[in-house]
């Protein structure tokens, strides 16, 4: 029982980057844009964040630098798919490959350098709650930021005018254009937001989760974040649930590698994807069209003039 708070804390730490990246991609996909470059934006955020932190000797600054780097990369994606109306799948894959290469270059001089942890934040009173209080209400500031982001995304998409327009653009860009909504401008904002969050998730990995930089350290988390968005089927609450579930699986996998769980760790690595397939099946059987994806997801938009 005394292990539980510790395990919970590691689950939260493992889940936070997934949650943040997936929240960003969720917003992008609600606007009807499929950005498969999450992995690339994440690793560039990780490398840039770590490099910036070492150079300025400020991990907090590094976190923000990483987020901005992710956003910069997503701007390249936005230029391609919005201005030149390129195929989103191909462009996103290219972005991932480019991001992996770029990150290796940026992080070249920083491999193996350690960083000190950012001092954790405790919420007064709440963290005094016995057993679970310390696990939930003591953590790094990005963890708390991610909780704020959940609320921000859910509220922004469903309760604000901008969220209404963003979802409208994603549902049918043809109708949105016919009504005179600025389809490309709204999508640009959504793509940049997705990039910002992917970069933030990456910086979290290198500056909080592992606290060192090594090439390829994102290790497929960008893809898990994408799978999460599919798993969520358009609902933020399911996205949050999925993120902590997948985070839990990641931790369980580490324990499996150490031999503490009687399951092969490879099976646990595959589990997020298997669950995504199961969720897709479930959504498809339940008869919702497009399995909860935005109506014009992935289609290039070229207005007649």
Partner 1 sequence: MGPERIRLSGITKAFGALKANDHVDLTLHAGEIHALLGENGAGKSTLMKILYGLLRPDSGEIRINGRRVSLPSPQAARAQGIGMVFQHFSLFEDFTALENIAIPLEGRIADAGLRAQVEAKARHFGLAIELDRPVHTLSAGERQRIEILRALMQEPQVIILDEPTSVLTPDEAEALFATLDTLASEGAGILFISHKLEEVRRLCSRATILRGGKVVAETDPRAVSAAELAALMVGEGVLELRPAGEHALGAPMLQLDGLSVAPDGVHGVALQAIHLTVQAGEVVAIAGVAGNGQSELYAALSGEGGRVTSGQVRMAGQDVTRRDINARRALGAAFVPEARLGQATLPQGPLSENVILSWHATESLGRWLLDTVRIGTVARNVIERFDVRTPSPDPLAAQLSGGNLQKYVVGREIERKPQLMIVDQPSWGVDARAATHIRQTLLDLAAKGAAVLVISQDLDEAMAMADRLAVMHGGHLSAARPVSALSRAEIGLLMTQGESPARGAA
> How many amino acids of this chain bind partner 1 (CB under 8 A)?
21
Query: Residue 300, interface with partner 1 (CB under 8 A)?
Result: no
Q: Which is nearer to partner 1, 154 or 217 (CB)?
A: 154
Query: Residue 90, interface with partner 1 (CB under 8 A)?
Result: no
Rg of the chain over Cα atoms, rounded to whole angstroms, equals 19
Q: Which is nearer to partner 1, 174 or 216 (CB)?
A: 174
Name residues contacting partner 1, limited to 240-299 (CB under 8 A): 289, 295
Q: Give dist(CA 143, CA 135) in Å, integer.
A: 12
The interface region with partner 1, picked from 52-60, 155-163, 221-229, 248-256 by CB under 8 A, is 155-163
Query: Residue 87, interface with partner 1 (CB under 8 A)?
Result: no
Q: Which is nearer to partner 1, 130 or 289 (CB)?
A: 289
User: Shortest Cβ distance from residue 185 to partner 1 (Å)?
Assistant: 12
Name residues contacting partner 1, limited to 164-193 (CB under 8 A): 164-165, 167-168, 171-172, 174-181
User: Shortest Cβ distance from residue 295 to partner 1 (Å)?
Assistant: 6
The token duo for 245 is 């579930």
User: Shortest Cβ distance from residue 116 to partner 1 (Å)?
Assistant: 46
Q: Which is nearer to partner 1, 104 or 156 (CB)?
A: 156
Among 1, 114, 130, 159, binds partner 1 (CB under 8 A): 159
On whether the CB atoms of residues 208 and 49 are closer than 8 A, the answer is no
User: Shortest Cβ distance from residue 173 to partner 1 (Å)?
Assistant: 10
Query: Residue 156, interface with partner 1 (CB under 8 A)?
Result: no
Q: Which is nearer to partner 1, 12 or 301 (CB)?
A: 301
SS (H, E, C) the chain: CCCHHHHHHHHHHHHHHHHHHHHHHHHHHHCCCCCCCHHHHHHHHHHHHHHHHHHHCCHHHHHHHHHHHHHHHHHHHHHHHHHCCCCHHHHHHHHHHHHHHHHHHHCHHHECCCCCCCCCEECCCHHHCCCCHHHHHEECHHHHHHHHHHHHHHHHHHHCHHHHHHHHHHHCHHHHHHCCCCHHHHHHHHHHHHHHHHHHHHHHHHHHHCCCECCCCCCCHHHHHHHHHHHHCCCHHHHHHHHHHHHHHHHHHHHHHCCCCCCCHHHHHHHHHHHHHHHHHHHHHCCCHHHHCCCCCCCCCCCCC
User: Shortest Cβ distance from residue 275 to partner 1 (Å)?
Assistant: 24
User: Shortest Cβ distance from residue 298 to partner 1 (Å)?
Assistant: 16
On whether the CB atoms of residues 77 and 24 are closer than 8 A, the answer is no
Query: Residue 304, interface with partner 1 (CB under 8 A)?
Result: yes
Q: Which is nearer to partner 1, 138 or 172 (CB)?
A: 172
The site for partner 1 (CB under 8 A) is made up of 159-161, 164-165, 167-168, 171-172, 174-181, 289, 295, 304-305
């Amino acid at each position: 029982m005394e292990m539980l708070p510790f395990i919970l804390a590691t689950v939260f730490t493992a889940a936070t980057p997934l949650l943040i990246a997936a929240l960003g991609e969720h917003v992008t996909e609600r606007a009807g844009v499929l950005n498969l470059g999450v992995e690339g934006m994440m690793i560039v955020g990780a490398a840039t964040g770590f490099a910036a932190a070492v150079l300025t000797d400020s991990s907090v600054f590094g976190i923000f630098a990483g987020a901005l780097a992710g956003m910069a990369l997503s701007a390249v994606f936005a230029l391609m798919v919005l201005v030149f109306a390129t195929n989103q799948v191909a462009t996103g894959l290219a972005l991932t490959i480019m991001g992996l290469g770029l990150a290796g270059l940026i992080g070249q001089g920083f491999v193996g350098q350690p960083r000190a942890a950012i001092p954790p934040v405790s919420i007064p009173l709440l963290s005094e709650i016995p057993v679970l209080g310390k696990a939930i209400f003591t953590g790094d500031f990005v963890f708390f930021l991610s909780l704020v982001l959940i609320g921000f995304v859910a509220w922004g998409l469903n309760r604000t005018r901008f969220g209404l327009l963003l979802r409208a653009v994603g549902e049918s860009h043809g109708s949105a254009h016919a009504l005179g909504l600025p389809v490309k401008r709204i999508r640009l904002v959504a793509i940049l937001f997705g990039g910002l969050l992917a970069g933030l998730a990456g910086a979290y990995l290198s500056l909080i989760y592992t606290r060192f930089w090594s090439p390829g350290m994102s290790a497929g988390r960008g893809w898990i974040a994408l799978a999460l968005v599919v798993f969520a089927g358009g609902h933020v609450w399911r996205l949050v649930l999925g993120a902590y579930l997948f985070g839990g699986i990641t931790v369980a996998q580490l324990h499996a590698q150490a031999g503490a769980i009687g399951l092969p760790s490879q099976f646990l690595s595959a589990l997020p994807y298997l669950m995504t397939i199961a969720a897709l099946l479930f959504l498809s059987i339940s008869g919702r069209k497009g399995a909860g994806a935005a109506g014009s997801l992935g289609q290039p938009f070229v207005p007649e003039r």
